[in-house]
Structure 1
Amino acid sequence: MKAMIVNQFGGPEVFEAAEIDKPQIKPQHVLVKIAATSVNTVDTMIRQMGAELPLSPAAPALLGMDFAGTIEEVGEGVTEYQVGDEVYGCAGGLADLPGTLAEYIVADSNLIARKPKNLTMQQAAAIPLVGITAYEGLQRAGIKAGQNVLVHGGSGGVGHIAIQLAKHFGAKVFSTGGGEPQLKLIEQLGASAINYRTESVEDYVQKHTQGVGFDLVFDSVGGANMANSFAAAALNGQVASTVSMCELDLTLAHFKGLSLHVVFMLIPMLHNHGREQHAKILKALTTIAEAGELTPELDETDYQLAEVSKAHERLTSGKAMGKVVVSI
């Protein structure tokens, strides 16, 4: 089958076209003809860092985690799916799991679900990693109807899904962005936009919560921005972070009695632990999408498999809105 592989880790140009063996079916797995995949930040980190990142596969590596496609073969023990089902999931591209920058993947049936009927393959491929991350973070932080929820980075891959899910759960949603296109998208998604470049945390906390703070802060920016999340949270508030690889002073979190939820959605894939939870979340996301309450935003660019280098360049440029998708 056709694939784009990495023989040497580095810049976006390292992808090479190759013909590799089509994967063989295994028990509890399904063989999927891939229609589309999407690029996530972790994909660019693996491509750049290689062995420096503990979750990276060894070279020659087949990257790519998300996919949408059609089942062509069902493995022993799989009863929920059959040939011809359109499915989506996040099932490869790290450690010893071959990725999705190819025509086929053999995916663990606990890492997939039927794709939303009202979404295209490209739209469905944009959801799994960011959708599971956003859903898990909001759920672990105990989101409830009527809460004031702040999403940092609302025009990004995880953030724009978190806005829609928070609204689905009945919250009043606010979100930060740094430019007119980003703020416009945030408003279109149904959140009140906050320009973090022109408004201080203190200003927008006062403006939107009368100084009380947000009940739940979902931080898809992370790193140094987590200090802003602590400052924006209410007393005994909840903070969910997707980027927590940093040193941080927790003094403010202590004195405000905050709860911090670190979301690392790759754990089930890396450790083969609780994979069925991903299937459960994906099924919930399908239901929400089919109800018209979740539609991924696709970047204006359009790439084919041979152009994956350009897709990686697009995501790392910081200019992409929503998700960068690659059609196979």
Structure 2
Amino acid sequence: MKAISYSRYGGPEVLEYGERPDPKVGPDDVLVKVRAAAVNPVDWKAQAGYLDGMMDVVFPVIPGWDVSGVVVQPGVSVPEFAVGDEVMGYVREDVLCHGTFAEYVAAPVRTLARKPRTLGFEESAALPLAGLTAYQVLHRALAVREGETVLVHAAAGGVGSMAVQIARHLGCRVIGAARETGQDRIRELGAEPVVYDERTFAAQVRALAPQGVDAAFDTVGGPFLKTTPELLVPEGRLASIADGEVIGLGGRYFWVRPDSDDLAALAALAEEGVLSVQVAKTFPLDQAAEAQRANAQGGLNGKVVVTVEWDA
């Protein structure tokens, strides 16, 4: 099969496009014919070696954790899916090796759910990691409730935009922080925007929520995370997916996990029209390095997706 891979740590320059062995299908795996795979910051961070202390690596590595595609072969212990089913998944395993930037991926069944009928393959590939992160932080780390006010950082981005929509669906008032370029997107999602400006950020939030916010979802870390605790009500909750220093600030550091039930819940929200997915740019598989550069550059209101073309 054709795939993107790297044989040493580095930036986009280490990515190679070429032939790789077809994946073996274990008992609990599902062989998926890949139609699209989203690019996430964790892809190029792992590729640069930032996760070396956390995860074993078997080179050459095929990057990518997000995927959408069509079932080609269920494993012998997988009654959940049949040949021809359209699926999406957050295909994260315990070892960096077999990713989704390829024509085929053997995905553990626990990482998959059926693709939303209302979304195309590109949008469906952009949903799993970002959507699961937002869903699990709001439900588990922050346990937000109807009527609460929630502050979402980088609210126009991949994870942030999902968090805004899910929090709104849960009956929360949402304040969304973003750059100037993301303000209109935040309004479209039903949140009240504030602009990232180190001098005025806190004052902007206080003007909208003088008593403080009930929960804050950090996706950026750094100075804006450090400012956030002072914006909470006395019993307010704080969670970050970007900066472990949140623990010292009294919050929770959260890492998303694959969960087929949560993924199915996201698919249901998409089919109900509650959750929309915005794709900013697409690249063919052989241009995955350019897709990675676009994702790392940032500033996009939506996800970067790699597509795999198949003959009809």
What TM-score does the superposition give when structure 1 sets the normalisation length? Answer: 0.88
Contact conserved, 2:247 with 2:253, CA < 8 A, in 1?
no
Give 1:1-328 correspondences, 5 Å limit: 1-49=1-49, 52-55=52-55, 57-92=57-92, 95-140=95-140, 141-179=142-180, 181-197=181-197, 200-209=200-209, 211-246=210-245, 250=249, 253=250, 260-266=251-257, 278-299=259-280, 301-328=281-308
117-126 or 225-234, larger mean C-alpha shift: 225-234
Give, as a single letter, the amino acid of the residue that structure 1 aligns with 2:71: I
In 1: Cα distance, 2:286 partner to 2:59 partner:
19
Q: 1:58 Cα deviation (Å)?
A: 2.9
After superposition, give the CA deviation of every residue in 1:41-81 in whole Å (9 maximum; x if it has no partner).
11010122267453262321111000000001111121111
Residue 29 of structure 2 contacts residue 74 of structure 2 at CA under 8 Å; is this kept in 1? yes
Find the aligned partners of 1:97 and 1:46 in 2 and give their Cα distance. 11
Distance (Å, rounded) in 2 between the aligned partners of 1:101 and 1:167: 33
Number of residue pairs matched?
307
Q: How far apart in 2 are the matches of 1:261 and 1:217?
A: 11
Unaligned runs of 5+ in 2: none
Amino acid in the other structure paired with 1:15: L
Give, in whole Å, the separation in 2 of the partners of 1:47 and 1:56: 12
Cα distance in structure 2, aligned partners of 1:22 and 1:249: 45
**What is the letter of the counterpart of residue 63 of structure 1?**
P
Task: Find the residue that maps to 1:63 and give its secondary structure.
Answer: coil
Measure the CA separation in 2 of the matches of 1:5 and 1:193: 39
Partners of 1:313 and 1:56 in 2: CA distance: 25
Q: Which amino acid aligns with 2:158?
A: G
For 1:281 and 1:196, locate their aligned partners in 2 and report how far apart those are by CA, in whole Å: 31
* Matches of 1:112 and 1:319, distance apart in 2: 29
Structure 1 residues 135 and 58 mapped into 2: Cα distance closer, same or farther (>3 Å)? same
Instruction: Name the aligned partner's letter for residue 14 of structure 2.
Output: V
Write the distance in 1 (CA, Å) between the matches of 2:127 and 2:25: 25
- Comparing 59-68 and 49-58, the one that deviates more: 49-58
Deviation string 1:1-39 (CA, Å, 9 cap, x unpaired) is 000110222121211112111112111211100000011
The RMSD of aligned alpha carbons is: 1.8
SS of aligned partner of 2:95: coil
TM-score computed with the length of structure 2 as normaliser: 0.93
Question: What's the offset of the Cα at 1:112?
Answer: 0.6
Moved more, 132-141 or 214-223: 214-223
Question: Offset at 1:158?
Answer: 0.8
CA gap 1:248/1:77 in 2 versus in 1, 3 angstroms: closer
Superposition deviation, residue 220 in structure 1: 1.1
Structure 1's 50 and 7: CA in aligned 2 closer, same or farther, altered over 3 A?
Answer: farther
Percent identity, please.
33
- The answer to whether the Cα contact below 8 Å between 1:93 and 1:100 also exists between their aligned partners in 2 is no
Does the aligned pair in 2 maintain the 1:2–1:103 contact within 8 Å? Answer: yes
Q: Is the 8 A contact 2:160 2:219 kept in 1?
A: yes
Amino acid at match of 2:177: T
* Distance in 2 separating the partners of 1:148 and 1:73: 45
Question: How far apart are residue 87 of structure 1 and its match?
Answer: 0.5
Whole-Å Cα distance in 2 between the matches of residues 25 and 183 of structure 1?
Answer: 45
